[in-house]
Structure 1
Amino acid sequence: MPNDLDDWFIREVLAVEPALMRYLRHNWRDAGEWADLRQEVYARVYDAARAGLPERAAPFVMATARNLLIDRARKSQVVAIDAYAELDDLATDELTPERHVSGRRELGVLVEALEALPPRCREVVMLRKVDGLSQREVAAEMGIAEDTVEKQIAKGMRSLADALFARGLGAGIARLERKLRKRGT
């Protein structure tokens, strides 16, 4: 039998589904994961609502979705310590003239990709990733919100990765990932 929590969930949370799906489609590239993400948001919202119903369901659902995507993005950036050991295996070649030329070409592609970013996005990426400022420091330096810094970093890094992969420069990374998967890492 449905209880008050179930009734609230059906009435308030499921009504937000179209907006939730728009948000997931806009902010998560892998379309095959959208349904799973939606279910995870629902599970988190339901579990949290057991302690007490939020005053407004829609902002609560959207904040939960945002936090889930942040969690997923952070987990995807975690590298097992064994992966660093594998990098030693890759460094068996000495610096040859060919590798030097290849490295210069790759750096040129990266510089082009950085220059192609919108000015504010480029500045955020440079301050955060090149100068090593924290998200809070970048926000203070530029006079923008930390959320804006986070969004600009995501946009910029996605654009840079797309540019590098489009030029075939992500092949080494993909080979390393396959090698690690084969070893069960």
Structure 2
Amino acid sequence: MPNDLDDWFITEVLPLEGTLMRYLRHNWRDSAEWADLRQEVYARVYEAARAGLPERAAPFVMTTARNLLIDRARRSQVVSIEAYAELSDLALDELTPDRHAGGRADLQRFVAALDDLPPRCREVVMLRKVDGLSQREVAEKMGIAEDTVEKQIAKGMRALADALFAHGIGAGIRKLEDRLRKRGT
């Protein structure tokens, strides 16, 4: 037997599914998770609306979706204790003068690769990745669209990665990733 909450959900929230799915597709890379994310948004909206129906459903649903994606992104950045513990089992070499000098050379190559980026791309990468500004903050500061920031970040990071891997700098990272993957981490 439907109640006011069920009626509200059916008439106000469910019609927003198309908008919600476009938002999820645009903001979450893993397409296999889109349906689960939609269901979790619905569950959160329904549960929160038990305390009182919001005046406007669309902003409420979209804010809930945004918060869910932020929560998921934060959780994905947490390193598990098991993975951290296994790093100590890898018996990495101690820091020797040779490794220290190699690290300085790698850093110089990175700075050179950064300097080789086009000026706007370099500025976007520096503001976003070094200064830690959000995509929106970078766009506002530079007076460009957010999707331009996104494209410049992708272009810049790809160019930096190509330059570093061309000099063999990324080889150690790949070996470490391979070791962790073999251990099931």
> Match of 1:83?
83
Matched, 1:115 2:112: no
1:52 partner SS: coil
Q: Judging changes above 3 Å, is the alpha-carbon distance between structure 1 residues 34 and 159 closer, same or farther for their aligned structure 2 residues?
A: farther
Q: What TM-score do the two structures reach when normalised by structure 2?
A: 0.66
Displacement of 1:73 in angstroms is: 0.3
> Match of 1:53?
53
> Match of 1:5?
5
Matched, 1:160 2:160: no
Displacement of 1:107 in angstroms is: 3.2
Percent identity between the two aligned chains: 54
Displacement of 1:92 in angstroms is: 2.5
Q: What TM-score do the two structures reach when normalised by structure 1?
A: 0.66
Following the alignment from structure 1 to structure 2, what is the Cα–Cα distance between the partners of residues 7 and 162? 52
In the alignment, structure 2 segments of 5+ residues that lack a partner are: none
CA-based RMSD of the aligned residues comes to: 4.3
The within-5 A match list for 1:61-100 is: 61-88=61-88, 89=90, 91-92=92-93, 95=98
1:181 partner SS: coil
Displacement of 1:178 in angstroms is: 1.7
> Match of 1:37?
37
> Match of 1:22?
22
Count of residues in Structure 1 that have an aligned counterpart in Structure 2: 169
Q: Judging changes above 3 Å, is the alpha-carbon distance between structure 1 residues 125 and 163 closer, same or farther for their aligned structure 2 residues?
A: closer
Following the alignment from structure 2 to structure 1, what is the Cα–Cα distance between the partners of residues 130 and 117? 14
| 1:109–1:164 contact (8 Å) kept in structure 2 | no
1:63 partner SS: helix
Q: Judging changes above 3 Å, is the alpha-carbon distance between structure 1 residues 82 and 171 closer, same or farther for their aligned structure 2 residues?
A: same
